[in-house]
């Protein structure tokens, strides 16, 4: 199975980005975590992205705040899917969301919600599941469990008012 790289621009981003890790573990997706900055380590970030596919990665998740260039820089050096996680480092994350969502034509970066690393992990899993039936089945089971949890909550609330 291809791996997922969870990349962040700063160690300060870890509390948000680490929310992706239990989901990847639960689904049995191998992953690694990296701190690479689009501005402070541009050579290393470019090299990581250039070699990601040959190093067994299938998807890159890039968390960045403020100027939020990390996902775009990685995407410019690889053909792998890159999922941007806008971080609420400033302006409530709106600056990062806009920076990631408005990539120039030809260099796409998928974008999830502000601080949405859990959804980034699930989107990465869905991308990998296109070629992995076992993973697709795990995702389907997870969705059914989420559906049942909502139905159970509905029943519990209705019982309390009858």
What are 107-148's pLDDT values in tens digits? 999 999 999 999 999 999 999 999 999 999 999 999 999 999
**pLDDT at residue 162, rounded to an integer:** 78
Q: Which residue reads 């609330």 in tokens?
A: 157
Label residue 67 by pLDDT band (50, 70, 90): confident
Quote helix, strand, coil % in the chain, to nearest 5. 55, 15, 30
For range 101-110, the mean pLDDT: 95
- 3-131: CATH architecture: 3-Layer(aba) Sandwich (3.40)
For range 63-70, the mean pLDDT: 93
Helix (H, G, I), strand (E, B) or coil at 58: strand
**pLDDT over 90 (residue 5):** yes
**pLDDT over 90 (residue 150):** yes
């Amino acid at each position: 199975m291809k791996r997922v790289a969870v990349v962040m621009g700063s160690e300060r981003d870890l509390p948000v980005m680490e929310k992706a890790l239990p989901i990847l573990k639960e689904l049995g997706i191998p992953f690694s975590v990296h701190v690479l900055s689009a501005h402070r380590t541009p050579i290393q970030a470019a090299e990581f992205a250039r070699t990601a596919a040959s190093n067994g990665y299938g998807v890159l998740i890039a968390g960045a705040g403020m100027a939020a260039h990390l996902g775009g820089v990685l995407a410019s050096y690889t053909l792998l899917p890159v999922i941007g996680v806008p971080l609420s480092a400033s302006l409530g994350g709106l600056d990062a969301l806009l920076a990631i969502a408005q990539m120039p034509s030809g260099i796409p970066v998928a974008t999830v919600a502000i601080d949405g690393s859990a959804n980034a992990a699930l989107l990465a899993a869905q991308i990998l599941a296109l070629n992995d039936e076992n993973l697709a089945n795990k995702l389907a089971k997870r969705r059914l469990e989420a559906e049942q949890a909502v139905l159970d909550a509905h029943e519990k609330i209705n019982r309390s008012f009858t």
